[in-house]
Amino acid sequence: MPQGDKRGNEWEFFDATYDGHWDDELRRGLGQLTDGKTGPDDFKMGYYDDRGQGWVGWRNDTRSDQPIEIKFEFDVVREFSAIHIYCNNQFTRDVQIFSQVDILFSIGGRYYNGEPITYTYMEDKIFETSRNVTIKLHHRIGKYVKLRLHFSARWIMISEVIFDSDIAHGNFTTEEAPTTESPIQSDVFVEKNGSGVDGELPVSTAKHDDPTYMAIVIGVLMAVILLLAVAIFLIVSRHRQRKCFASPMTGKAPSHLGSTCATVEKGAALMAYTLEDDERLDFQRDVRILAALEDRNIARVLGACCREEPYCVVMEYLEHGDLCQFLKTHITAEDAHSMPIGVKTLSFNCLIYMAAQIASGMRYLENLNFVHRDLATRNCLVGKAYHIKISDFGTDNELYACDYYKVDGTVPLPVRWMAWESIFLGKYTTKSDVWAFAVTLWEILNLGRRVPYEHLSNEEVVESLRRFHRANEEDGSASESGCTDGTNDHFDYLPRPTASSKDIYDLMLECWRREENERPTFREISLFLQRKNLGYAPTS
């Protein structure tokens, strides 16, 4: 990668800890981008406090508007699921997150054939906090990964790059040089300047004027056309049979059910399921259980069709959608004085008002000994006057796919919201929901803009929770273990949100105690938040 640039006469945003070759570029070594340390929001503080924990920065005007290229070499061929790039966004000082990143993969490291993964970041000129940008890599294979970071301001500053990957199994051959004669065209990626990316696939070396060659090509094309026609026919027939149309909001089926689809209209969400014969009784049982729930803070079952296909459930849906997306369209009232007129705001009391409703709904479920298992802002709905209802729409929503991780190859789990006993012991109780509520409260006070444990990969989150599990194995008997107990010293607790008061953060820490019997009940949480917000009523 290129070495960082100077900023004025005072600051050198170099990779000062790089242990490889220093020439015009940095080669065959490791440095600040892989040391596990993230820089502070103010890049000057990182420079003065600790040169090893700061930022590596590049300036646009020294590179003729060309993107920054960073190449990573791994020890073996790997299968990549995600990349996390920790970026600075002090836009008032000409530092912004990249406008676009292209990610290319190679086995041999010389040629990067194939289409790159392209991710475009929406410009943020409201919040100057540093953040982790996570990009799904869709299980692409390679030993070498190249990033092309496009500038959106004068400076790009990166502190850490982390890959989620596993060793790829199979036989892999290095890429050949792309041929220039009549390449087979795939979807061409077009950059902002309109130029195509080199990603053509190599073509056959047979002579194009050979009649046998032409016959083979025509035969293959005819076979492809027939297969596409059959596939389109089957898709259309299946959709007509199911009478269910795709929607950006996809409903969740219980774990034993087949695929689902959903449509949202006029305060209701219609979810349809494809079921096997042995699944119908379980489906009817689950619908009866959900239909029996009646609470002002729980989304209701409005109707169901259980006698014949398509099997459908009509769930209540609120006009403002899920809480996570709703929060992201607002800022705290305390920050509004420096914002333009018209920016939507939420006061601290309003945030606690919404959290208290979630606690009230969970208190109702706790009285029934009903365990939710996936409490998060993505699974809460917002209506008029900040009315909150707990649902379960977020699980199969593509927007939140990165919130779920397969532990040991099992079903995807929301590990960043889960208590340690649920992951390692498979134990789900109302007290594991209490743990998830504290994470949900943390999301609310951060207005949905921060992912829990954003500085850790999914594997690191699981390993951090594993320390609780090990402590539980070493200490068979219940001990006086508070959140500052010695056995929990190495667990990475979520930091206190800027908008949080001390007593609210203390409540979160109580919910994250190792021993579940030491965590508060939802009755206690609900009463505490109601007293905290006594006398508050929303204005709209």
Given this model, what pLDDT does residue 470 score? Answer: 75
Is residue 92, in this structure, part of any structural domain at all? yes
Please count the residues of the chain.
540
**Among 71-80, 218-227, 312-321, 371-380, which is the least confidently predicted range?**
312-321
Q: Is residue 515 part of a domain?
A: yes
> Using CA atoms, how far apart are residues 262 and 271, in angstroms rounded to an integer?
4
Q: Mean pLDDT across the stretch 359-378?
A: 93
- In-domain check, residue 149: yes
**Taking 70 as the threshold, does the pLDDT of residue 260 lie above it?**
no
Q: State the CATH number of the domain containing residue 332.
A: 1.10.510.10
- Cα separation, 327 vs 164, in Å, equals 28
Beta bridge partners of 526: none
In a domain, 197, yes or no: no
Phi, psi of 331 (to 5 degrees): -130, 165
Question: Tell me, what amino acid is at 66?
Answer: Q
**For residue 486, what pLDDT band results from cuts at 50, 70 and 90?**
very low
DSSP readout, 197-258?
Answer: PS-PBPPP-S-TT-HHHHHHHHHHHHHHHHHHHHHHHHHHHHHHHHT----SS-PPPPTTS-
Omega of the bond prior to 310 within 30 degrees of 0, cis? yes
Q: Domain of 133?
A: 6-167
Residue 489 has pLDDT above 80, yes or no: no
In this model, does residue 270 exceed pLDDT 80?
no
Q: Which amino acid is at 384?
A: K
- Residue 254 pLDDT: 39
All residues at 6 or more sequence positions from 485 whose CB lies less than 8 Å from its CB, including other chains: 479, 514
**Per mean pLDDT, which range of 143-152, 192-201, 292-301 is the poorest?**
192-201
Local structure of residue 35 (DSSP, 8 states): S
Look at residue 191 and tell me whether its pLDDT is greater than 90.
no
Q: What's the pLDDT at 247? A: 31
Which DSSP string do the residues of 388-426 spell out, in sequence order?
EEE---STT-GGGGGG-EEGGGSSEE-GGG--HHHHHS-
CA 138, 139, 141, 142: dihedral to nearest 10 degrees?
A: 80
- The secondary structure of residue 91, as a DSSP letter, is G
Residue 148 domain-assigned? yes
In the numeric block, which tokens belong to residue 354? 């919404």
Pair of tokens at residue 374: 């996936």
User: 160 or 14: whose pLDDT is higher?
Assistant: 160
CA 401 distance to own-chain centroid: 6
The secondary structure element, H or E, covering residue 359 is helix 348-367
Residue 134 belongs to a domain with what CATH number? 2.60.120.1190
d(CA 110, CA 142): 12
For residues 6 and 489, which has the higher predicted lDDT (pLDDT)? 6
Q: What is the share, in percent, of the chain residues with pLDDT greater than 90?
A: 39
Model confidence at 241, pLDDT cuts 50, 70, 90, reads: very low
> What contacts 465, CB < 8 A, 6 or more positions away?
415, 418, 420, 423, 424, 491
Output the average pLDDT for the chain. 80
Closest CA to 313 of 300, 298, 294: 300
Task: Say whether 18 sits in a helix, a strand or coil.
Answer: coil
Domain closes at, from 140, 167, 194: 167
Is 532 within 8 Å of 506 (Cβ atoms)? no
The residue that leads in pLDDT, 50 or 454, is: 454
More confident residue, 8 or 95: 95
Q: Which of 46, 33, 147, 31 is nearest to 90 (CA)?
A: 46
Is the predicted pLDDT of residue 259 greater than 60, yes or no? no
Question: How does pLDDT run across 116-137, given as a tens digit for each residue?
Answer: 999 998 888 888 889 999 999 9
| C-alpha of 351 from chain center | 22
pLDDT exceeds 70 at position 357: yes
What pTM, to 2 d.p., does this model score?
Answer: 0.51
Q: What is the pLDDT of residue 181?
A: 52
Q: What average pLDDT does the segment 276-286 reach? A: 73
Does 364 reside within a domain?
yes
Q: Number of structural domains, the chain?
A: 2
Does residue 20 sit within a domain?
yes
pLDDT at 251 over 80: no
Q: Where does a domain end: 167, 184, 202?
A: 167
**CA 319, CA 322: separation in Å to the nearest integer?**
9
Is 316 within the bounds of a domain? no
Which range is most confident: 317-321, 486-490, 536-540? 317-321
pLDDT of 352 higher than 60? yes
Res 149: pLDDT: 94
Contact 378, 403 (CB under 8 A): yes
CA distance to 58, 104, 183, 358, 488, per residue, from 67 (Å): 10, 14, 26, 45, 44
Task: Give the residue from 125, 152, 167 where a domain finishes.
Answer: 167
Residue 398 pLDDT: 77
Residue 34: per-residue pLDDT? 86
Query: pLDDT value at position 303?
Result: 83
Neighbours of 320 (CB within 10 A): 14
Stretch 472-477: mean pLDDT, rounded? 58
